[in-house]
Structure 1
Amino acid sequence: MNIFVELIVSVFRMSVTLLSAWSKIFYRRTERKCLEGEVVAIAGCSSDICRFMSLDFAKLGSTVVLLDATKTDDDDTAEQIKQLGGKVHSYAVDVTKKEDVYRVAKQVTEEVGDVSILINNVELTSGQSFLDTTDHALRRTVDVNTMAVVWTLKAFLPSMILNNHGHIVTIGSILGVEGSVDYCTSNAAALSIHDAVSCELIIQNAHGVHSTLVQLGATNTNRRNVKLSEGMDVQYISDKIINAIQTNQEILTIPSYMNWILFCKSWMPPAASSLLQSHMGIVPVTRTA
């Protein structure tokens, strides 16, 4: 009898959870949380997407913290934010080295304050086939796309949980389901880490810490090492991501019809899946940078 009761309770809880999740998909909340005063750490500022997001966060009154190994790109973005009258701090950090990440995270906390929004952008790939990718390139891609997510989360997430206030964002790509092996591997790992951490936040009752998983399709940017045959405006992508943060949207796929690729991937044989993605314009290309 106890087993039967537990089964009924479990089915009821699962139904409530599913209805709640579906309601978030079909009935988006219209109220948006204010981002003024938030401390936003953005890792991977050399990408056009993160540069646009940095400017948009500054316009909304957030304090922007730029984290990137390429100081030149950070300085250019920081200068643009200052011209807008925004608050910005720039730090040179090798996100593949945990000691460097932890050192800079401590420095950010002391000089700026607790980071309340963390954005990781998974974008590095060799753009080559598996056997053509060198061991060094493969390892570098995994370090940048996967381990950097681990180190930055471990560095900045504790204060969010302590304050019960924060938001983590992981920006990946739909190309993670088909394309360069190094990118597929690292992208899938980064997204899985994001999902696992999001589940832990729920288990730990850290209801004030939210998460958003972004899966991108085409982008009109010359800094990504993979592309699709048709791209979207980067400003549009930035607007959608910031809106997702303001409304606590858990999953954002851009464009939304790309969800069909994920659905078809789950049951189609590899040959059919590759053909579908080819028709939809997914074109892995060789890295030129």
Structure 2
Amino acid sequence: MGRSRSRTKSPSRRRHKSKHSRKRSKSREKHSNNKYSDKPKERSSKSRKRSHSASSSSGSDASDDVHIVSHKKRSYRDRDRKMDEVERLAEMERQRKKKELSNKIFTASAVGRQREVEQKMVEEEAAKRIEELVQKRVEEELEKRKEEIEAEVQRRVEEAKRAMERQMMEEMEWRQAKLREEEKRREEEERKKREELERIMEENNRKIEEAQKKLAEERLAMVEQQRLMEEERQRMRKEHEKRVKEEQKKILGKNNSRPKLSFTLKPVT
């Protein structure tokens, strides 16, 4: 591609050089035209000076001087015509060379473009062949190293399997530890609940025992009261019987002349 760029740039440099050459040729032509145009003026001025000096020196040579001046003027005109013809021919030659140069530049640019296209096609074909060769070489290397690749794949699969098993074991152990912690926490809560229930039951049993003890004491008090009441009844009954006996004694007298009367009292229930 570098060569093709250098070829494409060469016509522009040639055109640039051709422009400079045309400018230099035009400047040289202008200088030569000025030079040639100045020469007749100098010669005419010299001839005028000579004619003036000749006329001043002698009047008899005036006709010869006029003839010489006219001859010189004709020669100058002929020379000017020849110079114009030379310039015209030079201009034609320059136009011909310019046309040939432009044709050469166009041909060179067309050849450069053709070479650039060919170079691009060659590079694309080379890249395609290189890619095919690389693909073929890769396939050959893969075929050669097929067993190594399969062994490497199997090794990596085993490593991944062991890593997965290790991860699963760690996760299972973590779950078991979590379950043990949960079980321990639940057992602790149940123990606290059981202790609370036992405390409540003990409190209730204590209250029941106190109530039973109080009830027993009340029963004992009632029994004691009943016993005292029974003793009081027995005492009252005995006193009543004693009074009755004393009254009977009073009624019957001292010697017991009358039969004894017996009175019985029903116990008070």
TM surpasses 0.5: no
TM-score of the superposed pair, with normalisation by structure 1: 0.15
Bigger proportion of residues as strand: 1
Task: Tell me which of the two structures has the higher relative contact order, counting C-alpha pairs closer than 8 angstroms and 6 or more residues apart.
Answer: 2
